[in-house]
Amino acid sequence: MLAILDYKAGNQTSVRRALDHLGIENQITSDPDLLASADGIIFPGVGAAGQAMDELSSGGLDEVLKSLIWQEKPLLGICVGCQILLDYCEENDTRTLAVIPGECRLFNPAWTEEDGTPIRVPHMGWNRVTLKKDCALFNDISPAAEFYFVHSYHPAPRPEFIIGETMYGENFCSVHGRTGLWAVQFHPEKSGAPGLKLLQNFHAYCLEAKNAQ
């Protein structure tokens, strides 16, 4: 079973529908015991980092998450859930979970498209991910695949945690983390077949990790 973290600031329903479509058992929950017993956790998010951190900390979910991550529970952060794994977010001047070194920054409005026009903020629409290192999430996904993005802030982790980059004016980190702790800035649950395959790959990793214990 995959647990979809419920912290009143996520995109839980869309993620649940995607997992249901794949036939993957799942549950939307904020129960620490259910999170601990799940094969893996999906940490979705839409909205503002400050509000999301307020929700997490008010219910103690911030410490629950950090504890499970240190115990190597597989976790996939999506969009705001990707940004909150870093140390700090410029949005709302927010101190975040600090499980991956780095910060989340507002897109630089001085960045331009290839034709010289300024980029639009938020970054909204379909774009590619160029992998900088191998990642199980992208097994059997074409390098030409596009994913759906909608965000004004982008992750900037320490270089050794960058897994994939996307071009929007300049290259920015769109996938970061380490094996078993992944974060994607795009929305796989809204990204058609490539996004569904990524979720399926995450579930497969969770089952392999469970069987290896």
d(CA 4, CA 9): 12
Catalytic residue among 79, 82, 135, 206: 79
Residues 6+ apart with CB under 8 A from 110: 118
Catalytic residue among 151, 154, 187, 203: 187
Catalytic residue among 55, 91, 165, 189: 189
Judge whether 25 counts as a catalytic residue. Answer: no
Count of C-beta atoms within a 10 Å radius of residue 23 = 8
Count of C-beta atoms within a 10 Å radius of residue 68 = 19
Judge whether 187 counts as a catalytic residue. Answer: yes
Alpha helices in the chain (DSSP H): 12-22, 32-37, 49-58, 61-70, 80-83, 192-212
| Paired sense of beta strands 123-128 and 146-151, if any | antiparallel
DSSP-assigned letter for residue 87: S
Residues taking part in catalysis: 79, 187, 189
